Structure 1
Amino acid sequence: MEQLRGTGVALVTPFKKDESIDWNALEKLIDHVITGGVDYIVSLGTTGETPTLSADEKLDLMKFTFEKVSKRVPVVVGIGDYNTRDVVKRLETCPLDEAAAVLSVAPYYSKPSQEGIFQHYKTIAAASPKPIILYNVPGRTGRNMTAQTTLRLAHEVPNIVAMKEASGDMIQCMQILRDKPKDFLVVSGDDALALAQIACGMDGLISVGANYYAKDVSGMVRAALENNYPVARELNNKLQEAFDLMFEENNPAGPKAFLNGAGIVENVLRLPVVPVSEGLRSRIATFAKNYK
């Protein structure tokens, strides 16, 4: 799992004006982030608007990403749901040979107990042909996965090898980092907190901001991991307003507004997500133009 130490990018899914997948734009985006220095790509994360994608579209996106990345960097595939049986079925049937790992979000909406979360992950890990990366994002799922549950999974389930932590709870993060197995990777899921979390011992970041600012986000993470904090702080200070703008109204509406301004993707999302307001879009354009 050392290949997943550093910066991963949770790719947006570009759409054409008719809301079909824009394959040319996706290829352009893949080249943009790899050229920018990201260490790996995450396909089919929630930033990719996966709740609005059909099963066939998800399969096509996975295959296309493998093909266009062409082993230049590892690819992690997002496969998660609140239906444990459905996740197991997809893990058993999806073509995951080229995947480095599977990122699986904690069950959402149904708000299971901590024991339910543990049993969900234990079950899917047993079915998965690839290592599982836990993903805790209570702001989206409605239920926090506690440090105790995370550590229980990390110590007791061999095929669970890493975690994307996006709770925003620094105390919880430090508890996990203190008590985790030595070879268990923990990466940040919060662009704005990544520098502080790496300083506490995290192994990198799965970033939204790297869709656009691939070079500087990757540079910040790399410098922090090398204990070069003067450089890491300088880059992080430059990026903070960008992160604020990206998440002010919605992810991925924010990053798509940035990418659209650069001519990489259309500013098109699928309902219920809509493009950012004109006021925010204007501020994003001004910030991107003046960013140095």
Structure 2
Amino acid sequence: MSLKDTLRGTGVALVTPFTESKEVDFDALNNLIDFVLHGGVEYLVVLGTTGETPTLTKQEKVDILQFVYNKVQQTVPVVVGIGGNNTNEIIKDLEVLPIDKATAVLSASPYYNKPSQQGLFEHYQLFAEASPKPVILYNVPGRTGSNISAETTLRLAHASDNIQGIKEASGNMVQCMHILRNKPSEFLVTSGDDHLTLPLIAAGMDGVISVAANCYPKEFSQMVRSSLNNEYREARGFHYKLLECFDLLFAENNPAGVKAFLAELGVIKNHLRLPLTPLSDGVHQKIKIFIENFNQQKL
């Protein structure tokens, strides 16, 4: 089965819960995994940027991965985030982190040093050659400071058998459509924008790796399934019911927004590691009001 088939639908970019003393909260992580799987998501994405990976130690990353593998027992695919702006260092991470039970590796493009398109091409080509698992590109220029162009994505997709997909979070619909039109037939293209998931699936994407699926897994994953089944009337109902949620999730920073939601829903505690801090009181209050009114909203 191709990666495109295996990862069709909703993947959730799991947050990393912390205790009040800022240690990894494995009890809360257990609760979160139960919550999203019972909600119907198709797969888990662990150690992504939503998981606050820049503040995790190597040992914590290993421990989190082993915990997730033991928890799910290969009942759902697990995608592991391994990205950064030092090509040689992330290649070493492929050996350090336990990825034997992973379905694929999601690799965010280099941040801050803003490589050229040729630099991005060579970075990913070298990483893919070293990776024992299929590689999913992650384009999120709003966080990294540089965009993987459609031309570079397509060049990589056609040049490397081990680059088998992309999480596209550029927010550029035209760029996404160029990728969808010209990609190899089995190349996975998944949304990285919760706001745009419905129209991107309508354009031909295979699903989403979502932040919102942490806190509203049932409704969000049903929206995605309806979209993939061309049931757009139902999908639009879920989309517009969740639209304000999307706004609030990213009002200040991610994952402060989703952690506030999850804390109000009783799934985890609202703790982050610096330099991230909890949401301002004003935005947090809007989240409380949204949650209180959510079930009264009609599709």
TM range (shorter): over 0.9
Q: Is the 8 A contact 2:19 2:25 kept in 1?
A: yes
Superposed displacement of residue 94, structure 1 = 2.2
1:18-68 residue CA offsets vs partner (Å, 9 max, x unmatched): 000100000000000000000000000000000011111111111111111
Match of 2:103 in 1: 100
Superposed displacement of residue 96, structure 1 = 1.1
Q: Is the 8 A contact 1:154 1:184 kept in 2?
A: yes
Match of 1:139 in 2: 142
Q: Is the 8 A contact 2:16 2:29 kept in 1?
A: yes
Which amino acid in structure 2 is aligned with residue 59 of structure 1? Answer: V
Distance in 2 between the 1:158 and 1:43 partners? Answer: 23
Q: Is the 8 A contact 1:188 1:202 kept in 2?
A: yes
Does residue 241 of structure 1 match 2:249? no
Q: How many pairs are equivalent? A: 292
Q: Is the 8 A contact 1:44 1:78 kept in 2?
A: yes
| Mapping for residues 1-292 of structure 1, pairs under 5 Å | 1=3, 2-292=5-295
Distance in 1 between the 2:111 and 2:249 partners? Answer: 23
TM-score if structure 2 supplies the norm length? 0.97
Distance in 1 between the 2:287 and 2:98 partners? Answer: 38
SS of structure 1 residue aligned to 2:164: strand
Q: Is the 8 A contact 1:92 1:129 kept in 2?
A: no
1:91-114 residue CA offsets vs partner (Å, 9 max, x unmatched): 133221110000000111110000
Superposed displacement of residue 3, structure 1 = 1.2
Distance in 2 between the 1:92 and 1:118 partners? Answer: 22
SS of structure 1 residue aligned to 2:189: strand
SS of structure 2 residue aligned to 1:192: coil
Superposed displacement of residue 240, structure 1 = 0.4
TM-score if structure 1 supplies the norm length? 0.99
Q: Is the 8 A contact 1:92 1:127 kept in 2?
A: no
Superposed displacement of residue 69, structure 1 = 1.7
Query: What RMSD, in angstroms, separates the aligned Cα atoms of the two structures?
Result: 0.6
Which amino acid in structure 2 is aligned with residue 95 of structure 1? Answer: P
SS of structure 2 residue aligned to 1:8: strand
Q: Is the 8 A contact 2:61 2:97 kept in 1?
A: no
Distance in 1 between the 2:254 and 2:72 partners? Answer: 24
Residue identity (%): 59
Distance in 1 between the 2:44 and 2:197 partners? Answer: 17
Distance in 1 between the 2:282 and 2:114 partners? Answer: 35
Which amino acid in structure 2 is aligned with residue 225 of structure 1? Answer: L
Distance in 2 between the 1:64 and 1:162 partners? Answer: 26
Unaligned 5+ segments in structure 1 are none
Structure 1 range deviating more: 57-66 or 208-217: 57-66
Which amino acid in structure 2 is aligned with residue 204 of structure 1? Answer: G
SS of structure 1 residue aligned to 2:272: coil
Q: Is the 8 A contact 1:122 1:157 kept in 2?
A: yes
Which amino acid in structure 1 is aligned with residue 265 of structure 2? Answer: A
Q: Is the 8 A contact 2:109 2:120 kept in 1?
A: yes
Superposed displacement of residue 289, structure 1 = 1.2
